[in-house]
Amino acid sequence: MDPLYLFIQRLIGAILGLALVYSSFMLIKVLKNKEFALSMVFLNKNRIINLFGLLVIATFSIFLTGLDYVFFGNSITVEILLDLNALILLIFTFSIQKLMRGDESKWT
């Protein structure tokens, strides 16, 4: 495999990982307020379904990554699946942040 491709793939993974860690810290900072966290129980049903769907997709992506690693061992597909999982989790954290700010969006 081309070393440049591997470098770009790992760079993308590192950037997605850092963005996920940053958005998670921002989410934790907002969730420290207990009243605000408890008010999330009364979310719109469609929003809860969308957020739950993102978590299910992320879990399925983790499962596929594990299967690919165990049975095929192809490092490129494993890294692509991990990047996809990080992107899904990043969308999940951004969706929760938008929800907490009260921003209305069609995809959340």
pLDDT at 94 (0 to 100): 85
Are 23 and 97 in contact by the 8 Å Cβ rule? The answer is: yes
> Could you tell me if 73 and 7 are in contact, meaning their C-beta atoms sit under 8 angstroms apart?
no
Entry pTM: 0.70
| Nearest by Cα to 77 from 91, 86, 88, 66 | 66
Beta strands in 15-67 (DSSP E): none
One digit per residue, pLDDT tens: the chain, 108 residues?
678 887 888 888 888 888 888 887 887 777 776 566 556 656 667 777 788 888 888 888 888 888 888 888 788 888 888 889 989 988 888 888 777 766 555 554
